[in-house]
Each structure stands twice: as structure tokens, then as C-alpha cells.
Amino acid sequence: MLLGSVRVTIREAKSFAQFTKAVEAIVEEATVSFKPEKVYIREMDASKTTMVEVSMPKDYFEDYEVTEAIAVGINFYEVSRILKRARRDDKLEIEVPPEGNMLKLKLIGVSTREFRLPSIVKEMSEEREVRLPVKARVVILSDEMKEIIKDIQLVGSEFTIESTREEVKFLSEGNGQSVTINLRRGDAALLELEVEEELVKSTYGIEYVRKMMEGAKLAEKVTLEYATDAPLILTFQPLEGGVLRYFLAPILKS
């Protein structure tokens, strides 16, 4: 393999396709860093309200050949369109030549289909840990979180999370209507609840969280971390490996 080139193989193309859809839910284009130890993405949306982060260690891949770190800009909308064509048993091979001006996607199964997309070499940015205040950590079944979002959407465009050491509430109101969803310690859908203060409370836009729940197709549970009037962190950890994480700015009330 040529110096600086990339060739990685994923055993299940359809599984990886869900990662691309989870990124595309927030941003159409993103910079992908191929490093000797992992693939990494961190991209903020145009409004600077939300950010998506993906980390896939080399062990996630069936084959992993990255001779030298390279960062390339990729159109995730186009990649998602292609991966919709993946069949159930297809493998996916991703290749980037040393020039970084092209992304090759091979769907390998009963036949081999190769797609080529333009890409742009980007500057390899320093990977810094995002440090945010966290006073509450809530782990919920992903399917239940999707139902909570559907209930909230019937009423308003934003919602408030209130957490105590015994329960977490999701509240919304609008047009004279209101809804409250309550999960108490011991409820089947509430897997973990850690709260450092008597009450942790913050408000967020429901449409952003709805888009983030694209990650629910990757993992059975979702972790919500936040502090009062601070950003919300949503984390999905698929069994196959890797981490998908979203960050969302709060709506501050005067």
C-alpha cells in the first residue's frame, strides 16, 4: 500500500451506514480523520448549536490499513445515499488514495460495486477533549427516549429536563397544552440515574434531539449528561464498538 493511503473494511456495510446517517442528521459535510489507531469525526452544525462526534477504534474494522494520518472532507449526504444500496450481507471497503482527492466505496457481496466520490484534504486538527459541566447522568432505553420525544412534539418545540436523585422528568408546554413524562428510579426504562445536586434543570430544542435519536438504531440505550443551564451530551455506544456522541447548547431562560 502506498505511503499515506487508507484502506479499511467493515464486516457489515448496513451497520456502518447507520453511523453515516447519524452524522448526516446534524451536518451534511464533515471532516473525517483517518489515524493509525482510529477513525475520528467531530463537526459542528452551521448554527453552532449542536455538534456530532464519532470515534471508531481500529478494532471496529475487519481490516485496517492506515499508513499515515490523513483528514479528508466528505459529503455524508452522498455517502448515505450510496450506502442505502448496501445489501444485508455486504461488506464495505473504504479507500482514500495518498492525494486524498477521492473516496472509494466498495460494496462487496454477491457482486462488487465500486463508487467514487470527490473529497478534499483537510488540515489535521488537534483532538481535544470536550470538557463540560455534568451534574446529572441519566441512562434510558433508546426506544423509550424516542417515545418521549414523540410525546413532547405533540405539545411544544422545546422541553425541560429536571433530575433529582430519585427521578427524572421531561416537561414541555405550548399553545395552552402541557406534557410531563416521569421516570422514577426502578422503572424498567430508566437504567441508571446519578445526580449530584438536589435539582438539575435545563431546557433544549426538541427538533435537535429528535435528529440525534438517529443514533438509537445503533444502540439499545442512550446516556444523557448535563448540568443546570448547560449543554446536553447524548452518547450512544453500539455493541459492535465505537462511540457516537452529540452536544447540544441549552435554551437559556431570562
What pLDDT digit, counting tens, does each position of 203-228 carry? 999 999 999 999 999 999 999 999 99
Please give the Cα distance from 195 to 38 (Å, whole number).
Answer: 33
Q: Which residues, listed in sequence order, are joined to residue 170 by a DSSP beta bridge?
A: 161, 181
**Residue 134 vs residues 124, 138, 189, 210: alpha-carbon distances, Å:** 29, 11, 22, 22
Topology adopted by domain 136-248: DNA Polymerase III; Chain A, domain 2 (3.10.150)
Confidence band, pLDDT 50/70/90 cuts, at residue 4 = low
Which pLDDT score is estimated for 3? Answer: 43
Q: How far apart are CA 203 and CA 114, in angstroms?
A: 45
Q: Where are the beta strands (DSSP E) in the chain?
A: 6-10, 29-34, 38-44, 50-57, 63-66, 70-75, 91-96, 102-108, 112-118, 120-122, 136-141, 158-163, 167-174, 177-184, 190-195, 200-205, 221-226, 232-236, 243-248
Q: Give pLDDT, residue 101.
A: 85
Q: What is the mean pLDDT of the chain?
A: 93
Closest CA to 64 of 10, 27, 25, 145: 10
* Residue 204 neighbours by CB under 8 Å, 6+ apart: 158, 159, 161, 232, 248, 250, 251
Task: Tell me the three cell numbers of residue 240.
Answer: 459492535
CA distances, 169 to each of 90, 159, 233 (Å): 42, 10, 17
Residue-wise pLDDT for 126-136, tens only, equals 778 889 999 99
pLDDT in tens, 156-177: 999 999 999 999 999 999 989 9
Q: What residue ranges do the domains of the chain occupy?
A: 6-122, 136-248
Compute the average pLDDT of residues 175-185.
96
Give the pLDDT of residue 254. 67
Task: Specify whether the CB–CB gap between 102 and 117 falls below 8 A.
Answer: yes
224-247, pLDDT tens digit by residue? Answer: 999 999 999 999 998 778 999 999
Q: What are the pLDDT digits (tens) for 107-126?
A: 999 999 999 999 888 887 77
| Assigned CATH for 6-122 | 3.70.10.10
pLDDT tens by residue, 51-109:
999 999 999 999 999 988 899 999 999 999 999 999 999 999 999 988 778 999 999 99
